[in-house]
Amino acid sequence: MAGELPPDARMRASRAEYARRMNRVLDYIDQHLDQALDLAQLADVANFSRFHFHRIFAAWMGETLGDYARRRRLETAASRLARGSGEPVLEIALACGFGSGEAFARAFKQQFGCTPSEWRAGAPQRAAALLAALHSNPDQVHSNAGQARPRPPGDHDGSLTLYGETEMDVHIADLPAVRVAYQRLIGPYGPQIGVFWRQTMAPWMQSHGLDGQLCYGVGHDDPSVTPPDKCRYDACVTVPEGFLPTGPVSLATLPGGRYAVARFKGQPQTIGNAWMWLTREWLASSGLQCDDRPSFERFDPAGSFDPATGDMICDICIPVRAL
């Protein structure tokens, strides 16, 4: 039949459509953690059969819908507890979809082996342990935690020494909302993100005339909380109004608002160290706190790499509000 795709192309197109639909569901769940998640409603979001959706979800994600939603609620709560913002535990529990503080405490202890209050108190020790683990793992991120210096309280602007002789400028900016097309990688943060950009996202961008557009990398999960094989990363590119995605690509809007913006220039394996100290040291000394918008890396593909030094160049953007 004229115009019919060959079998391999049909298979790729079908898998791409499944990826788009499942990403819609995952995004919807994250945006509605404080609400009851109805199976039929989620099936409609994905445009899958209500009768078969639970089985499709479990096969695609490797966990049932109920287990996934519970894990995301608890991981989100754990990240909020670790911010040091002083939010009441009950307020966090309700915001993450738990009906009472008691139900939240039971589920939290079952997941993480400690109470929410103990988790909050142990945040500095976990951060130090994660830095030590990153330092000892050459496939992830090298760090020199002892060389970092916290910023003076309330000082939001200027530069921050992170490691060695490297400094980052940190300033507060109001960023506009941005419409992006994205492809999602699920798995450990680290070198495979670069491979995903080079082998998957960049060829797609070039084939759609987007290789000169501003790009964003969005890591949705805290690797100190979420299992490595469950971490989600979105490779995003700015798209014009009316753009229609093809292949395994979905559309999203990165929200605008107030961000702490830090220019990073350094070896790619050190960017995890930069993220760690910005969120654990600079932020704690800034008089600000994170809110629930996503953090991201922003870069111009044409100027994101220095061939002479091998340095990566990007802006680390962290959503902030007053304490």
pLDDT tens digit string along 251-270? 999 999 999 999 998 888 88
Token couple for 74: 């608890």
* Domain assignment of residue 206, yes or no: yes
Residue 68: CB atoms within 10 Å: 19
Residue 67 belongs to a domain with what CATH number?
1.10.10.60
Residue 175 near residue 298 (C-beta atoms within 8 A): no
Residue where a domain terminates, one of 100, 121, 142: 121
pLDDT exceeds cutoff 90 at 289 = no
Q: Are residues 221 and 283 in the same domain?
A: yes
Neighbouring C-beta atoms of residue 243, cutoff 10 Å: 16
- Please report the DSSP string for 266-315 in residue order: E-GGGHHHHHHHIIIIIGGGTTEEE-SSPPEEEE-GGGSEETTTTEEEEE
Residues 309 and 179 in one domain: yes
Is residue 215 domain-shared with residue 293, that is, in the same domain? Answer: yes
Average pLDDT over residues 203-226: 92
Are residues 218 and 95 located together in one domain of the fold? no
d(C-alpha 107, C-alpha 278), whole Å: 30
Per cent of the chain over pLDDT 90 is 53
129 in any annotated domain: no
Rounded to a whole number of angstroms, the distance between the first and last alpha carbons of the chain is 64
* Residue-level length of the chain: 323
Q: Verify that 61 and 179 share a domain, yes or no.
A: no
| Same domain membership, residue 310 and residue 177 | yes
Task: Say what the pLDDT of residue 163 is.
Answer: 43
* pLDDT of the residue at 132: 61
Of 210, 181, 208, nearest to 19 (Cα)?
181
Instruction: Tell me how far apart the alpha carbons of residues 279 and 171 are, in angstroms, rounded to a whole number.
Output: 14
161 lies in a domain? Answer: no
Q: Is the pLDDT of residue 162 over 80?
A: no
- Tell me the mean pLDDT in the region 299-304: 86
Which is more confidently placed, 21 or 14? 21
Take residue 198 and report the two structure tokens written for it: 């080079």
- Two tokens, residue 57: 């979800």
Amino acid letter at 20?
R
State if pTM tops 0.85.
no
Q: Is residue 204 part of a domain?
A: yes
29: which 2 tokens?
Answer: 């769940």
Report the alpha-carbon distance of residue 314 to residue 311 in Å, rounded. Answer: 10
Same-domain pairing of 56 and 195: no
pLDDT at 161: 44
Looking at residue 274, its pLDDT comes to 87
| Residues 116 and 195 grouped into a single domain | no
- Look at residue 264 and tell me if it is in a domain: yes
Q: How large a percentage of the chain has pLDDT more than 70?
A: 86
Strand partners, 314: 264
Looking at 82, 105, 121, the residue that finishes a domain is: 121
Query: Are 114 and 33 in the same domain?
Result: yes
Count CB-CB contacts under 10 A for residue 248: 19
Tell me, yes or no, whether 198 lies in a domain: yes
Strand segments (E) across the chain: 158-163, 166-175, 178-186, 215-219, 232-238, 250-254, 257-266, 288-290, 296-299, 305-306, 311-322
Tokens of 163: 């490691």
Query: What local confidence, expressed as pLDDT, does residue 109 receive?
Result: 96
Q: Which is more confidently placed, 179 or 143? A: 179
CA distance 154 to 137: 34
Out of 59, 91, 121, a domain closes at 121
Count of beta carbons in the 10 Å neighbourhood of residue 15: 12
**Residue at 196 is within a domain:** yes
User: CB count, 10 Å around CB of 307?
Assistant: 6
Residues 15-29 have pLDDT tens digits of: 888 888 999 999 999
Looking at the DSSP assignment, which residues form a beta bridge with residue 296?
Answer: 317
- More confidently predicted of 263 and 153: 263
Number of domains the chain is built from: 2
Instruction: Look at residue 153 and tell me if it is in a domain.
Output: no
Q: What is the largest CA-CA distance in the chain?
A: 70
Worst-scoring range by mean pLDDT, 37-41, 241-245, 256-260, 319-323? 319-323
Are 95 and 188 in a shared domain? no
Query: From the centroid of its chain, how far is CA 278?
Result: 15
Range with lowest mean pLDDT among 117-121, 132-136, 233-237: 132-136
Domain co-membership, 67 together with 191: no
Predicted pLDDT of residue 130: 67
- Residue 243 confidence (pLDDT) above 90: yes
Residues 244 and 116 in one domain: no
Say how far apart CA 315 and CA 173 lie, in whole Å. 12
pLDDT score, position 286: 84
Q: Which CATH number is 224's domain given?
A: 3.20.80.10
Q: What CA–CA distance (Å, rounded) separates 165 from 283? A: 21
**107: domain range?**
1-121
Q: Which of helix, strand or coil describes residue 317?
A: strand
